[in-house]
Structure 1
Amino acid sequence: MEEQIDVLNADGTPAGFSCGRGKVHAEGLWHRTVHIWAFDSNRRILFQLRSRVKENNPGLLDTSCAGHISAGDSSVNAAVRELREELGVHKSSRDLEYLFEAKHESVLNGGSYLDNEYYDVYRITLSDDEIKSLVPQPGEVDGFVWMTREEFFAKHKLHPEKFVEHPKDYCWLEENA
């Protein structure tokens, strides 16, 4: 069964109904997602390499972990679920540091995938044991890349086409990571 997602009005308020993920993106309906940035004890940033079979942004480096908030779910519960599914990391809501909310609009795949979302951004720190046991979710994540903030911005400047663009997240990384 297709994941059901709560639809929002353009101002971010609930529209009062849910629908399938496919319809959300085919019609460009506003919805909520989460982004989680994972760090190690040396403040290196974990980037996920999106699976080459993903519908949008295949094979690009992206936030450590991200995903849709299912209908009726909370942002923090979705973040905990996505960490478990995409990285194999088991965290509790207390381990997540809420950072900010952002709004993003994008047109992908020649206009067949419309992504209009409000997203909550979180930060976590992974232990050495968690880092050793990272498991990419097949079909979602092909691998992981660790970078210092300086390495990320240098690589992004030279090859922005290798990254999923998240300007508000990157601004936060530049000022706070």
Structure 2
Amino acid sequence: MNDHVVLVNENDVEIGLMPKLEAHQKGVLHRAFSIFIFNTNGELLLQQRAYGKYHSEGLWSNTCCSHPFPDESTFNAATRRLKEEMGIDASLNFLYSFRYEAGLDNGLTEHELDHVFWGITDKIPVINHDEVLSYKYISEKNLRIDMQNNPAQYTEWFKICLDEVLEKLRI
């Protein structure tokens, strides 16, 4: 069942399971999480998604994102995937949740109730090359310049939530 996503309603109440690819083909609302890791200089750790991913391959995105397994909390899933993808253990903090829907490549649709976590660490990533092509730390200023000049190089969900994440972390 690890290839399934948890289907939810608008209130994040579980209503079923569906194979991950089918959920993205049909654009069905499902539970997800996104992680934003910063270093002590305030730079955001980005990952470049590996080639061969079923969508958004080769694009830059937040540090890590995925879906919890059935019967797994989003916090436990976020902690697990950060280690699996980026080779990092970090103390994660819940920031907020939001719902979005965005068209992707390959005729897929991302329709997620996304739980956002953040953390701070100076640990050096040890990336899983099946998931991650590359990584970099980047300042907010340089990130915004690059996103303005090269918006097609970034994932849709990252473009949707970046401003709100940074605004909430400034408070």
Aligned to 1:13: 13
When residues 173 and 120 of structure 1 are mapped into structure 2, their CA distance, relative to the original with a 3 A threshold, is closer
| Cα distance per residue 1:49-72 (max 9 Å; x no partner) | 111221111111101111111111
| Cα distance per residue 1:100-139 (max 9 Å; x no partner) | 101111222342x221100011111113xx22xx111122
Aligned to 1:136: 127
In 2, are the aligned partners of 1:102 and 1:168 still within 8 Å (CA)? no
**Aligned residue identity for 1:60:** L
Measure the CA separation in 2 of the matches of 1:85 and 1:135.
Answer: 9
Residue 115 of structure 1 pairs with residue 106 of structure 2: no
**Aligned residue identity for 2:96:** F
Measure the CA separation in 2 of the matches of 1:14 and 1:173.
Answer: 25
Aligned to 2:54: 55
Residue 32 of structure 1 pairs with residue 16 of structure 2: no
Secondary structure, aligned partner of 1:57: coil
Give the unaligned 5+ runs of structure 1.
none
Residue 172 of structure 1 pairs with residue 167 of structure 2: no
Indicate the percent of aligned positions where both proteins have the same amino acid: 24
Secondary structure, aligned partner of 1:101: strand
The ranges of structure 1 where at least 4 consecutive aligned residues each deviate by more than 6 angstroms after the TM superposition are none
State the superposition RMSD in angstroms: 1.8
Secondary structure, aligned partner of 1:34: strand
Residue 9 of structure 1 and its aligned partner are, at CA, apart by 2.6
TM-score normalised by structure 2 residue count: 0.89
TM-score normalised by structure 1 residue count: 0.86
In 1, are the aligned partners of 2:147 and 2:154 still within 8 Å (CA)? yes
Q: How many residues end up aligned between the 2 structures?
A: 168
Secondary structure, aligned partner of 2:161: helix
Give the unaligned 5+ runs of structure 2.
none
Which region of structure 1 is more displaced relative to structure 2, 79-88 or 165-174? 165-174
